[in-house]
Chain A
Amino acid sequence: AQTVTQSQPEMSVQEAETVTLSCTYDTSENNYYLFWYKQPPSRQMILVIRQEAYKQQNATENRFSVNFQKAAKSFSLKISDSQLGDTAMYFCAFMVDDMRFGAGTRLTVKP
């Protein structure tokens, strides 16, 4: 079975600091895609970052970067210089033949 696990239901960070959200997954496939989605209080699902499993280089989007460890099946999200607008639920997702989501991590950025 293909599963996604986010072990941190809630996290908080001070504004301007760095925070890392954890995600592990389980699959026997070799080619797949990994995503982080952000869901602010508006409930809109917003793509943060995408990683292709066959690419060794970690994806980066401005203040957001990932640490992709394929052998360990780990895909963590690092948010640098946290801003109040980063407060949201963050979902890790994994896609082979369909998209599977983790349970989410609720991140609060404190002023």
Chain B
Amino acid sequence: EAQVTQNPRYLITVTGKKLTVTCSQNMNHEYMSWYRQDPGLGLRQIYYSMNVEVTDKGDVPEGYKVSRKEKRNFPLILESPSPNQTSLYFCASSLGSPFSGANVLTFGAGSRLTVL
């Protein structure tokens, strides 16, 4: 089944304890992206990647890191989480870049992160 898989789905952690949210897609998509969803703000882009070893900042990159060493994986790293990073996180991928015709995003199921 074609899908984007995120793990963990739920996580409660404490301030300063490094964590990684994994994202993997099995559709050979070039474009991958991370969003956070907060009430009243919709989804905001954190980082995106056009292809392997190519990553760029989105609207809210502070406090996050990403890497794209393989085409299928795009992990989100919180080096020192803080309470304001408590949010619902989504990974998404598409076959082509946003300005191409192949730009329909497939989303993962979301990861609910709570930082105490």
On whether the two chains bind one another, the answer is yes
Binding site for B on A (CB under 8 A): 4, 6, 9, 31, 33, 35, 42-45, 47, 50, 52, 91, 93, 95-104
- Given A97-B99, A98-B48, A99-B98, CB of A43 within 8 Å of CB of B88: yes
- What residues of B have a CB within 8 angstroms of the CB of A96 in the complex? 98-99
9-residue interface stretch from B15-23, B37-45, B64-72, B73-81:
B37-45
Q: Which residue of B lies closest to A39 (CB)?
A: B37
Q: Is the CB of A103 within 8 A of B58?
A: no
- What residues of B have a CB within 8 angstroms of the CB of A99 in the complex? 33, 43, 45, 98, 105
Question: Which of B72-112 touch A at CB < 8 Å?
Answer: 88, 90, 92, 98-99, 101, 103-105, 107, 109-110
Docked pose: A97 CA to B48 CA in angstroms: 11
Q: Is the CB of A98 within 8 A of B104?
A: no
Q: Is the CB of B42 within 8 A of A101?
A: yes
Q: Which residue of A lies closest to B40 (CB)?
A: A103
Indicate which residue in B58, B103, B107 contacts A45 across the interface (CB closer than 8 Å): B107
- The minimal Cβ–Cβ distance linking B22 to chain A, given in whole angstroms, is 18
Docked pose: A93 CA to B94 CA in angstroms: 15
Question: Which of B18-67 touch A at CB < 8 Å?
Answer: 33, 35, 40-45, 48, 58
- Given A101-B42, A103-B40, A103-B41, CB of A95 within 8 Å of CB of B103: yes
Docked pose: A99 CA to B104 CA in angstroms: 10
- What residues of A have a CB within 8 angstroms of the CB of B40 in the complex? 9, 103
- What residues of A have a CB within 8 angstroms of the CB of B41 in the complex? 103
For the A-B complex with A98-B45, A102-B42 known, give 10 more contacts whose Cβ atoms are closer than 8 Å. A4-B42, A35-B104, A42-B109, A43-B88, A43-B110, A44-B109, A45-B107, A96-B98, A99-B105, A101-B35
